[in-house]
């Protein structure tokens, strides 16, 4: 039986390959095992996770990349996607950046434009960065601290740049009358970000903040020359500070990068800059993109979030194709918010009953299983977060849920026969729907009856699960939810989803954690300058949340990334949670 | 003399066929229904459609024993049958076989056969009840508009235009998204089903309404209506005893043709995720899940076939019915 099904699966996969070869415009998809020429590296599953796959220092060639949608914006002040932060480093440099390459070190930050990491003074309220000397824009003008400060100040204007992160808007001590460099061009913003001299940038913060080095690796600190700034139109012609510059740029269609001869490798220890040219196609159909990646017509899938379900069905059963993939755990948690707003879930024992009753394996399967979905999560912080500790307060045999303990908790809650509540999910996310169905089945076993309700993802947080009035009025008890971190430390991952003081009438991402002790620990952690002690405090936060039983972790997400054919120097970087794009080269 | 004359049977007398009845018992007269039934019986496609419809209704009514006999409970997971890395069924052809007649779903491993059988009830229920609702509203307003004419006709005609111009799908999505949990004495999915019936039925009555109005316009000029009127029959009497019985044929035909449209509409809403809440199985919902796994033919084909066969059967039967009642339309 097993054998037969394996044969059938192989036959299906072979058929799929033939189909993909047709769809992808020919190619030799039938012999994926022979793709790596020269034998520099044998393709193996997860080969790019712990070491650089197919290492090379050979320069030249064209790296062909594709994106299944449009870029949010190519402007460093107006972009908020992980792929954009990752890819942008080809044409911009920021004060710090993630250490390139594989392994846990990818989570740490190293200086980029700056000589060293930031120096905190005033108890963490002032951060000073010294720039390297000899830095130049693509037109040969030197990059100074003024250009960095200007870039930070221009990113403040969220009407002109709606996409970018707003961390620096909230962290820095902006003058009251500053409304952005375009609306109030004469207001001096040096109270927030200041160019002390040509090579010194100083940030003045509202309150002590310890993770500043992680914030300044974001592209808001990529220098922008004031005389070349065209506001919202700057994305059409970005002035490069990195190893590549724009040759052409058709917004929404494609663009091409070529070498920037003003970039001096001596000032940049992080980027090998191997290809001569980088071509990017936009708005390529996602399934077609996967097929072209498998066939080798495209080297790189820019979004870096993993292959589509259709491609997974053909890649995973085929050992040769599977050997070309990496399957990292990314800093993203899929979970269920257990909302304490309505009875009986305001009683911690009833929330614990949910924790025990949930079938973690079924939940994992709902999310796509072990490879495409993720690892069963037992606590909030995912493993790639700095200092994460794994613990399990609600362990059960084989992770299948513990009916006896759930019933005990129900009895302690005064609901021995169970209760009814509503679970929300995003109707346009099939995995969340599958999760809701799995929860309904598992909880029914202990007498908890779930009514499942799907809502459009675009208004899920504004009108439904993240709207406190709606939750109260409609008796929502559980809500499918997911969260990824902007940077891989405790603050970057946890703050937005566990700090009860962020809760507003609508648009909440923290749906269920309302614990003053958690809030106190968050304050302690974000003021702690010692990295080890800080990480420990975030683990404490994690434990408090789990004790409170207000978050039911489902999976720490994994993505399945395929290494392009003929691509050298491929390594998964934990900081980027995808392949490290600036390392890539072509054979 | 205000009391109405004894006009019972005047409708029958008005029928051309009724003349035959009156002519004597020697020649057995055939009613219109009987003639239509004879024509219908000769139409093999229509008969096949009709038999399929009856079978579908039987399946929907007896879904519980059918599932008990041939399948597994429609909500039961069988994840031991699922390959954990690809999430596809372990067995060939979606694990089709004696255990699971039509295979199992990917991810959860639920029995596709049971879910299709269980989904038949909801599809047909919504299809029928929504149609009945629109027939009731459409016939009432259509007859009134056609019979009275003048400003009544103008008013009802404009109302129909408004309803026909209404972006029904958009409205249904918006409304289905905000249906509360409780209301009108109903709860959960029964409330959702009731709301869907209301939305679909309430917005499709003008299709029936227009046809009925047109038919009434021509009927009210006929001699038997004139006769009844000249004998002093009241409007209500003429409407419901003289005109309505003559409208039964077109109403029956168009209702039969409206049912599959409504079933499709429900499937469409479920496909878009605004129909019945999961985990209750619906055909549209199954199809929308199948889209994610289009490499898995059985999962797409069977719910698709269920919708296809149902809609085709109703359409064939409805077309046959129309031809039988009105051969000139052929």
The confidence band for A216, taking pLDDT boundaries of 50, 70 and 90, is very high
Beta-carbon separation of A369 and B87 below 8 A: yes
β-bridge partners, A573: A578
Query: Above pLDDT 70, what percent of chain A?
Result: 93
The continuous run of DSSP H or E covering A111 comes out as strand A109-111
- Residues of B in CB contact (< 8 Å) with A are 75-77, 79, 82, 84-88, 90-93, 107-108, 177, 180-181, 188, 273-274, 277-279, 289, 292-296
Name the nearest CA neighbour of A81 among A528, A587, A578, A573. Answer: A578
Other CB atoms within 10 A of residue B15 CB: 16
How much is the pLDDT for A135? Answer: 95
> Quick one: B30 exposed, middle or buried, by C-beta within 10 A (0-12, 13-18, 19+)?
middle
pLDDT at A207: 87
Q: How confident is the model at residue B288 (pLDDT cuts 50, 70, 90)?
A: confident
Interface A–B counts its CB contacts (< 8 A) at: 92
Alpha carbons A378 and A325: distance in angstroms, whole number: 26
Task: Look over chain A and give the mean of its residue pLDDT values, rounded to a whole number.
Answer: 88
* Of B87, B108, B279, Cβ closest to residue A452: B279
Place of tokens 């999961």: B278
CA angle A465–A470–A474, rounded 5-degree value: 100
Determine the pLDDT at residue A7.
33
Nearest-by-Cβ selection for B177 from A436, A455, A475: A455
Q: What is the DSSP string of A482-500?
A: EEE-SSSSHHHHHHHHH-G
Q: Which of A90-99, A145-154, A310-319 has the lowest mean pLDDT?
A: A310-319
Q: Which of A128-142, B32-46, B307-321 has the lowest mean pLDDT?
A: B32-46
Overall average pLDDT of the A232-245 stretch: 95
| pLDDT surpassing 60 at residue B62 | yes
Q: Going by C-beta distance under 8 Å and a sequence separation of 6 or more, which residues neighbour residue B208?
A: B134, B135, B138, B139, B142, B251, B254, B255, B258
Phi, psi of A93 (to 5 degrees): -125, 140
User: What pLDDT sits at residue A37?
Assistant: 37
Which position has the higher pLDDT, A24 or A412? A412
- Is pLDDT larger for residue A234 or for residue B67? A234
Nearest to B278 among A5, A368, A433 (CB): A433
The phi, psi pair for A421, rounded to 5°, reads -155, 175
pLDDT at A53: 93
pLDDT 10s digits, B108-138: 888 888 899 998 888 889 888 999 999 999 9
pLDDT for residue B251: 87
Alpha-carbon span A29 to A311, nearest angstrom: 13
**DSSP codes joined into one string, A78-98:** S---HHHHHHHTTT---SEEE
Q: Which of B151, B263, B168 is nearest to B206 (CA)?
A: B168
> Closest Cα of chain B to A100: distance in Å?
30
> CA A232 to CA B169: how far, in whole Å?
37
Q: How confident is the model at residue B74 (pLDDT cuts 50, 70, 90)?
A: confident
Give the tens place of pLDDT for each residue, B146-191. Answer: 888 889 999 999 999 998 888 878 887 777 667 766 667 777 778 8
What 3-state class would DSSP assign to A48?
Answer: helix
Q: Which of A308, A315, A365, A425 to mutate to test the interface with B (most CBs of B within 10 A)?
A: A365
Q: Taking residues A285-300, what's their average pLDDT?
A: 92
A507 pLDDT tier (thresholds 50, 70, 90): confident
Burial class of residue B149, CB neighbours in 10 A (0-12, 13-18, 19+) = middle
3-state secondary structure of A447: coil
Cβ-contact A143, A199 below 8 angstroms: no
pLDDT higher than threshold 90 for residue A378: yes
- Paired tokens of B149: 């004419």
Using the Cα atoms of residue B67, residue B72, residue B73 and residue B75 in order, give the sign of their dihedral.
Answer: negative
Higher local confidence (pLDDT), B290 or A375: A375
Contact between B108 and B101 (Cβ < 8 Å):
no
Rounded CA-CA distance B315/A474 in Å is: 41
Measure Cα distances from A160 to A75, A155, A166, A486 in Å.
Answer: 11, 8, 13, 22
User: What domains can be seen in chain A, in order of their start residue?
Assistant: 92-231 (3.40.190.10), 329-558 (3.10.105.10)
- Report the C-alpha gap between B41 and B45 in whole angstroms: 10
Q: Which residues pair with A561 in a beta bridge?
A: A326
Q: How far is CA B73 from CA A132, B57, B99, B114, B286, in A?
A: 68, 20, 12, 7, 16
Complete DSSP assignment for A249-303: EETTTEEEEEE-TT--GGG-SS-----SEEEEE-S--HHHHHHHHHHTS-SEETT
Range 271-310 of A in CB contact (< 8 A) with B: 309-310
Q: How confident is the model over A522-556, as pLDDT tens digits?
A: 989 888 888 889 999 999 999 999 999 999 999 99
The pLDDT, as a whole number, for residue B261 is: 86
Closest chain B residue by Cα to residue A367:
B107
Closest chain B CA to residue A455: B177
pLDDT confidence of residue B147: 87
Residue B27 binned pLDDT confidence (cut-offs 50, 70, 90): low
Task: Please determine, for residue A11, whether its predicted confidence score (pLDDT) is greater than 70.
Answer: no
Interface residue of A285, A367, A430 to substitute, partner B, most B CBs within 10 Å: A430
DSSP class of A370: I
Residue A43 in tokens: 């393709």
Where does the pLDDT of residue B329 fall: very low under 50, low under 70, confident under 90, or very high at 90 and above?
A: low
Nearest to B85 among A310, A316, A433 (CB): A316
What DSSP line would sit under B267-318, residue for residue? HHHHHTT-SSPTTS--HHHHHHHHGGGTT-HHHHHHHHHHHHHHHHHHHHHH
Q: Nearest CA to A23 among A315, A281, A311?
A: A311
**Rounded mean pLDDT, A110-118:** 95
Look-up of token digits 């908890």: A448
* CB nearest A441 (choices: B75, B88, B92): B75
Residue B26's pLDDT band, with cuts at 50, 70 and 90, is low
Three-class secondary structure of residue A453 per DSSP: strand
For B36-49, the pLDDT digits (tens) are: 888 888 888 889 99
Window from A12-26, A442-456, B22-36 with minimum mean pLDDT: A12-26
Contact A370 B279 (CB under 8 A): no
How far does B52 lie from chain A, in Å, by closest CA?
32
**pLDDT 10s digits, B75-109:** 888 877 777 777 778 777 777 777 788 888 888 88
Most confident of A52-56, A509-513, B260-264: A52-56
Instruction: Report the share of chain B in percent with pLDDT over 70.
Output: 87
Query: What does the block give as tokens for B132?
Result: 């009945």
Q: How confident is the model at residue B2 (pLDDT cuts 50, 70, 90)?
A: very low
Q: Which helix (H) or strand (E) holds B168?
A: helix B168-177
Rounded to whole angstroms, how far apart are CA atoms A359 and A356? 8
> Which tens digit of pLDDT belongs to each residue from A551-585?
999 999 999 999 999 999 999 999 998 999 999 99
Among candidates A353, A360, A295, which has minimal Cα distance to A324? A295
HSE-CB for A80 with a 13 A CA cutoff: 13
CA separation for the pair A461, A474 (Å, rounded): 15
> Which residues, in sequence order, are CB contacts of A269 under 8 Å at separation 6+?
none
- Band of residue A152 on the pLDDT scale cut at 50, 70, 90: very high
Q: Give me the pLDDT at residue B220, please.
A: 84
Residues of chain B in contact with residue A376, where contact means CB-CB under 8 angstroms, are none
């Amino acid at each position: 039986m097993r054998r037969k099904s394996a044969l059938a699966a192989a036959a299906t996969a072979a058929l799929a390959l033939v189909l993909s070869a047709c769809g992808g415009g020919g190619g030799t998809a039938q012999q994926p095992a022979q793709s790596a020429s020269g034998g520099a590296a044998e393709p193996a599953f997860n080969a790019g996770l712990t070491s650089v796959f197919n290492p090379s220092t050979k320069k030249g060639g064209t790296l062909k990349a594709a994106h299944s949608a449009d870029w949010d914006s190519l402007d460093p002040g107006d972009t908020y996607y992980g792929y954009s932060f990752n890819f942008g480093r080809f044409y911009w440099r920021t004060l710090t950046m993630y250490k390139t390459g594989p392994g846990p070190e990818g989570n740490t930050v190293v200086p980029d434009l700056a000589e060293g990491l930031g120096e905190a003074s005033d108890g963490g309220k002032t951060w000073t960065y010294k720039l390297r000397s000899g830095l130049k824009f693509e037109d040969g003008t030197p990059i100074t601290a003024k250009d960095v400060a200007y870039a930070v100040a221009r990113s403040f204007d969220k009407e002109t740049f709606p996409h970018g992160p707003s961390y620096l808007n909230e962290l820095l001590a902006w003058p009251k009358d500053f409304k952005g460099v375009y609306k109030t061009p004469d207001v001096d913003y040096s109270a927030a970000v200041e160019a002390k001299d040509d090579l010194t940038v100083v940030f003045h913060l509202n309150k002590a903040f310890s993770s500043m080095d992680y914030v300044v690796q974001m592209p808001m600190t990529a220098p922008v020359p004031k005389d070349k700034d065209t506001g919202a139109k700057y994305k059409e012609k970005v002035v490069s500070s990195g190893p590549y510059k724009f040759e052409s740029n058709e917004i929404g269609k494609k663009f091409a990068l070529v070498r920037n001869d003003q970039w001096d490798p001596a000032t940049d220890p992080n980027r090998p800059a191997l290809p001569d040219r980088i071509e990017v196609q936009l708005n390529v159909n996602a399934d077609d993109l996967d097929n072209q990646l498998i066939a080798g017509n495209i080297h790189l899938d820019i979004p870096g979030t993993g292959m589509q379900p259709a491609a997974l069905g053909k890649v995973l059963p085929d050992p040769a194709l599977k050997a070309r993939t990496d399957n990292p755990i990314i800093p993203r948690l899929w979970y269920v918010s257990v909302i304490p707003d309505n009875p009986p879930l305001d009683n911690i024992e009833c929330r614990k009953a949910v924790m025990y009753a949930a079938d973690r394996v079924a939940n994992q399967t709902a999310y796509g299983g072990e490879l495409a979905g993720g690892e069963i999560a037992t606590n909030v912080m995912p493993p790639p977060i700095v200092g994460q500790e794994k613990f399990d307060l609600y362990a059960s045999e084989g992770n299948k849920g513990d009916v006896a303990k759930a019933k005990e908790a129900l009895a302690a809650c005064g609901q021995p026969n169970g209760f009814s509540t509503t679970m929300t999910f995003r109707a346009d996310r099939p995995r969340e729907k599958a999760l809701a169905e799995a929860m309904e089945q598992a909880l029914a076993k202990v007498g908890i009856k779930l009514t499942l309700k799907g809502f459009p993802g675009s208004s899920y947080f504004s009108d439904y699960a993240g709207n406190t009035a709606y939750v109260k009025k409609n008796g929502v008890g559980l809500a499918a939810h997911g969260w990824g971190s902007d940077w891989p430390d405790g603050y970057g991952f946890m703050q937005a989803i566990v700090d009860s003081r962020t809760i507003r009438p609508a648009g909440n991402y923290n749906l269920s954690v309302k614990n003053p002790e958690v809030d106190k620990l968050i304050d302690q952690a974000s003021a702690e300058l010692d990295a080890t002690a800080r990480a420990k405090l975030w683990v404490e936060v994690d434990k408090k949340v789990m004790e409170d039983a207000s978050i039911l972790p489902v999976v720490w997400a994994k993505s399945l990334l395929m290494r392009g054919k003929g691509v050298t120097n491929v390594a998964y970087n934990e900081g980027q949670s995808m392949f490290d794009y600036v390392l890539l080269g072509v054979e | 003399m205000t009391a109405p004359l004894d006009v019972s049977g005047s409708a029958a007398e008005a029928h051309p066929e009724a003349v035959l009845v009156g002519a004597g018992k020697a020649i057995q007269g055939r009613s219109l229904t009987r003639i239509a039934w004879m024509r219908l019986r000769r139409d093999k496609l229509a008969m096949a459609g009709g038999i399929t419809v009856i079978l579908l209704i039987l399946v929907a009514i007896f879904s519980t024993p059918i599932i008990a006999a041939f399948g597994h409970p429609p909500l039961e997971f069988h994840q031991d049958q699922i390959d954990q890395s690809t999430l596809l069924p372990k067995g060939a052809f979606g694990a089709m076989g004696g255990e699971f007649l039509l295979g199992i779903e990917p991810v959860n491993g639920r029995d596709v056969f049971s879910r299709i059988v269980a989904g038949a009830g909801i599809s047909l229920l919504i299809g029928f009840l929504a149609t009945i609702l629109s027939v009731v509203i459409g016939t009432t307003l259509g007859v009134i508009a056609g019979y009275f004419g003048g400003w009544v006709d103008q008013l009802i005609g404009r109302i129909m235009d408004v309803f026909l111009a209404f972006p029904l799908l958009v409205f249904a999505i918006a409304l289905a998204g905000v249906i509360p949990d409780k209301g009108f004495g109903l709860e959960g999915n029964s409330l959702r089903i009731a709301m869907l019936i209301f939305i679909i039925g309430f917005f499709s009555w003008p299709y029936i309404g227009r046809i009925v109005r047109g038919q009434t316009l021509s009927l009210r000029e006929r001699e038997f209506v004139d006769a009844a009127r000249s004998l002093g029959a009241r409007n209500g009497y003429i409407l419901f005893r003289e005109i309505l019985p003559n409208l039964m044929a077109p109403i029956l035909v168009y209702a039969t043709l409206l049912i599959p449209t409504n079933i499709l509409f429900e499937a469409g809403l479920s496909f878009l995720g605004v129909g019945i809440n999961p985990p209750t199985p619906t055909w549209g919902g199954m199809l929308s899940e199948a889209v994610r796994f289009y490499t898995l033919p059985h999962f797409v084909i069977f719910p698709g076939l269920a919708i296809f066969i149902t809609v085709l059967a109703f359409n064939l039967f409805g077309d046959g019915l129309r031809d039988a009642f009105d051969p000139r339309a052929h």
